Amino acid sequence: MNYMTGKEVAEAFLKFFEGKGHLIMPSFSLIPENDPTLLMIGAGMAPLKPFFTGKLKPPCPRVTTNQRCVRTGDIENVGRTARHHTAFMMLGNFSFGDYFKAEAIPWAWEFLTEVCGLPREKLWVSIYPNDDEAEQIWLKQPGLNPEHIVRLEDNFWEIGPGPCGPDSEIYIDLGEERGCGKETCSPGCDCDRFLEIWNLVFTQFDRTEDGEYKPLEHKNIDTGCGLERLASVLQQKNSNFETDLLFPIIEYVENISGLKFGDDAKRDISMKVIADHARSMAFMIMDKILPSNEGRGYVLRRILRRAIRHGRMLGIKGAFLEGAIGVVSKI
């Protein structure tokens, strides 16, 4: 496995896809442009929706990004698992009516196994139950154990109305010791053993507000690879929070609380919540979202209050979030 800092992982990903003819675009703002269906950008593909539907012409039919995202659906899991966040960076490669499965699958395999050096025997993939085409392509990938291909009913990706489609997820088996121990534990299990690191979406439909799935004129590719998750694997850390992308915030909390991360499971959760929420706050305020009583501003206010509450639970008196934001900006 090739050790990389978080920054190096992002650079390697973008460069890899640039080498495959993709245009590297900067992260978009968290505030969706002309998209009333979304409160905030929560996936790499979200700001690119008009390119998938054909409403706008993309600057290049192949694009790659490292998109800042805020998604609060998993907020109660933050700090309790190794991998859930309200704020994260999503790496992605996108095809707007250009390449499809036959390229997206081998490129993902090549990046993970050759650039990142992940052990092939520990990788698993899931496919949509009737996606024999994806299975055939996966079967050709060097070193992938055919028994590590599983069919999962929920392998269909959508984020509100808009472009969507069946998907294929790539997991790494982090070992029994990281799992729930249940006999049924396998890719898709809620525990931390099989870590989903990348989702390849075969975007073929446009879901209307009424829930109708209209076939898109062109087939597209949308992928989402969690930077923090991939960094945790390459840095051989037990959680995303211990990577160089988040741990400096925990060290800051250690300093001001006088407590040590790893000494007490409950306090660790609070430290992780503060680290995650500090990033959310920094990302949102950077995009000119301010605390308020409604909409995006209310999301920020709720996150801010949660972070303060966890600080109080650690015995921190007085204001401490400004310093945490300073650490985020250094990272």
Residue ranges that bind ligand GLY, judged by CB under 6 A: 43, 45, 157, 199, 201, 222, 224
The least distance separating ligand GLY from the CB of residue 181, rounded to whole angstroms, comes to 27
The least distance separating ligand GLY from the CB of residue 258, rounded to whole angstroms, comes to 39
Nearer to ligand GLY, 91 or 304 (CB): 91
The least distance separating ligand GLY from the CB of residue 10, rounded to whole angstroms, comes to 16
Nearer to ligand GLY, 168 or 270 (CB): 168
Backbone angles phi, psi at 120, to 5 degrees: -60, -35
Nearer to ligand GLY, 104 or 303 (CB): 104
DSSP H stretches of helix in 19-100: 49-53
The least distance separating ligand GLY from the CB of residue 309, rounded to whole angstroms, comes to 29
Nearer to ligand GLY, 157 or 247 (CB): 157
Residue 107, token pair as written in the block:
């490129």
| Ordered DSSP codes for 122-176 | GEEEEE-TT-HHHHHHHHTSTT--GGGEEE-TT-EE--SSEEEEEEEEEEEE--G
Contacts 24+ apart (CB under 8 A), 280-287: 280/70, 280/86, 280/87, 281/307, 281/321, 281/325, 282/325, 282/328, 282/329, 283/30, 283/68, 283/70, 283/87, 284/30, 284/40, 284/70, 285/325, 287/29, 287/30, 287/31
Residue 205, token pair as written in the block:
């439909």
User: Which residue(s) pair with 77 in the sheet?
Assistant: none
The least distance separating ligand GLY from the CB of residue 45, rounded to whole angstroms, comes to 4
User: Which residue(s) pair with 207 in the sheet?
Assistant: 162, 213
Nearer to ligand GLY, 201 or 245 (CB): 201
For 203-212, give one letter per residue: b (16+ CB within 10 A) or e: bbbbbeeeee
The least distance separating ligand GLY from the CB of residue 327, rounded to whole angstroms, comes to 27
Residue for token pair 């007490």:
264
The least distance separating ligand GLY from the CB of residue 322, rounded to whole angstroms, comes to 31
SS3 category, 9: helix
What's the CA gap between 200 and 35, in Å, rounded? 23
Nearer to ligand GLY, 199 or 257 (CB): 199
Judge contact between 6 and 116, C-beta under 8 A: no
The least distance separating ligand GLY from the CB of residue 87, rounded to whole angstroms, comes to 14
Closest-by-Cβ residue to ligand GLY is 224
Nearer to ligand GLY, 38 or 45 (CB): 45
Nearer to ligand GLY, 6 or 162 (CB): 162
